[in-house]
């Protein structure tokens, strides 16, 4: 620490020295970090976990994170993102990365990336995303890792997709040993944000997505902001208050960049989601995707779910209700004081949600095996 007393030639009462010098140091660090942010625009080193592209097409890219440990758990983890945001939520920066946390704890990690839909993708439905794109990602992950079973770890709609995938009438559900659902709705009858913003204006919303071919990403960004306006308004003050902390700024900037980089939702997917929420067919057993019955009672995988008591988008009851309908003998639900984004992306989530995922998976992911079991050949669908 700098000798501010000598530097500034100050005579300060001894009982206040520590407090005052601490504030002086933080003020100088705020100035230094602020200047660097203005000049460089980006404080992060971009040093995220190494990953290899195994398979690529327009609507599904499959990545494999290179293991750091000599031995890995035999049941690999496939990260499943929601459609409206980028996969960065799993891997913001090196120091704040769920993917990196899993890798460091010996897990073999894959990432399904559904790409960036454009106007030509207006026809895409949930059927395509679950039974085509997610199926390919799961199938190729299983093949590449020479594994018999998989873990699907999904956030938001990715958690719902993982639940649906493990509930199909097809045999592919038997490939799934574990499902982790972070803030993904299952019982859709009490989604207050949907009931307030969408339900009364069905015709208007349908006309809008028909016009643009999607629910525009700019509108999605705006809706996230108005869902928690106080948190959004507090952000500038949080930055000023903690600008002395470089690590905080790096994580905050990464999360902010992610927050402003939403993806458009294809029109057909939006309409289908709308109708499924209205009918609540997912829990009634009446939902069909590509002529396949989706019955939650088919789901026998171990199931871990997280809900946020402060979530303004997805009520905790919607997630907790999965226990009533699935057939898993190993079900655990955890509710924590998080909002919809903070339950996945905040610093507190790293020490609660992520840690719980790691501890839970360690006893449900088979034996440790040599990482050499991983295939080194290119993947094809």
- Average pLDDT rounded to a whole number, residues 275-297: 95
- Res. 47: pLDDT tops 60: no
* Alpha helices for 326-379 (secondary structure H): 342-345, 347-351, 353-362
Per-residue pLDDT at 380: 62
Per the CB < 8 A criterion, the answer to whether 287 and 275 are in contact is no
Percent of the chain past pLDDT 90, that is, above it, reads 66
State the pLDDT confidence band at 256, using cuts at 50, 70 and 90.
Answer: confident
Average pLDDT value over all residues in the chain:
87
- Res. 218: pLDDT tops 80: yes
- The single-letter DSSP state of residue 116 is -
pTM for the structure as a whole:
0.87
Fold annotation for 51-373: Rossmann fold (3.40.50)
Per-residue pLDDT at 159: 98
Per-residue pLDDT at 24: 66
- Average pLDDT rounded to a whole number, residues 14-36: 64
Per-residue pLDDT at 59: 95
| Domain limits, the chain | 4-40, 51-373
Per-residue pLDDT at 36: 62
User: Looking at the chain, how many residues does it have?
Assistant: 381
* Partners of 76 in the β-ladder: none
Cα–Cα distance measured from residue 74 to residue 373, given in angstroms and rounded to the nearest whole number: 9
Per the CB < 8 A criterion, the answer to whether 68 and 104 are in contact is yes
* Partners of 368 in the β-ladder: 73
Note the pLDDT tens digit of each residue in 122-161: 999 999 999 999 999 999 999 999 999 999 999 999 999 9
Per-residue pLDDT at 93: 82
Per-residue pLDDT at 163: 98
Q: Which of 45-59, 109-123, 289-303 is least confident?
A: 45-59
Give 230 or 374, the one with higher predicted confidence. 374
Note the pLDDT tens digit of each residue in 50-95: 899 999 999 999 999 999 999 999 999 999 999 999 999 999 887 8
- Res. 5: pLDDT tops 60: no
Per-residue pLDDT at 170: 82
Per-residue pLDDT at 237: 66
Percent of the chain past pLDDT 70, that is, above it, reads 80
- Average pLDDT rounded to a whole number, residues 151-172: 95
């Amino acid at each position: 620490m700098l000798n501010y007393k000598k530097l500034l030639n100050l005579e300060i009462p001894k009982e206040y020295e520590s407090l005052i010098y601490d504030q002086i140091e933080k003020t100088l660090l705020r100035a230094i970090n602020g200047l660097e942010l203005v000049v460089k625009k980006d404080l992060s080193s971009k040093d995220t976990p190494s990953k290899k592209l195994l398979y690529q097409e327009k609507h599904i890219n499959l990545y494999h994170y290179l293991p750091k440990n000599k031995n890995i758990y035999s049941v690999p983890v496939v990260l499943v993102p929601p459609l409206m945001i980028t996969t960065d939520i799993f891997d913001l920066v090196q120091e704040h990365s769920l993917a990196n946390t899993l890798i460091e704890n010996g897990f073999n990690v894959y990432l399904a990336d559904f790409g960036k839909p454009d106007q030509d993708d207006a026809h895409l439905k949930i059927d395509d995303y679950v039974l085509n794109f997610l199926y390919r990602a799961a199938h190729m992950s299983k093949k590449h890792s020479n594994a018999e079973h998989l873990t699907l770890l999904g956030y938001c709609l990715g958690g719902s997709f993982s639940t649906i995938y493990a509930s199909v009438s097809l045999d592919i559900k038997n490939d799934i040993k574990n499902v982790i659902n972070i803030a993904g709705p299952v019982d859709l009858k009490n989604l207050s944000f949907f009931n307030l913003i969408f339900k009364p204006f069905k015709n208007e919303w349908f006309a809008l997505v028909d016009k643009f071919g999607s629910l525009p990403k700019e509108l999605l960004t705006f809706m996230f902001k108005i869902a928690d306006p106080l948190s959004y308004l507090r952000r500038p003050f949080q930055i000023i208050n903690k600008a002395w902390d470089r690590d905080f700024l790096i994580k905050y900037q990464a999360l902010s960049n992610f927050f402003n980089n939403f993806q458009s939702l294809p029109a057909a997917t939006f309409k289908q989601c709308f109708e499924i929420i209205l009918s609540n067919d997912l829990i009634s057993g009446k939902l069909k995707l590509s002529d396949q019955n989706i019955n939650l009672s088919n789901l026998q995988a171990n199931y871990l779910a997280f809900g946020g008591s402060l979530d303004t988008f997805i009520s905790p009851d919607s997630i907790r209700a999965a226990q009533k309908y699935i057939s898993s003998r190993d079900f655990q639900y955890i509710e924590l004081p998080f909002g919809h984004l903070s339950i996945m992306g905040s610093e507190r989530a790293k020490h609660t949600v992520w840690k719980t995922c790691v501890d839970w998976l360690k006893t449900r992911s088979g034996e440790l095996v040599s990482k050499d079991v991983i295939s080194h050949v290119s993947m094809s669908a």
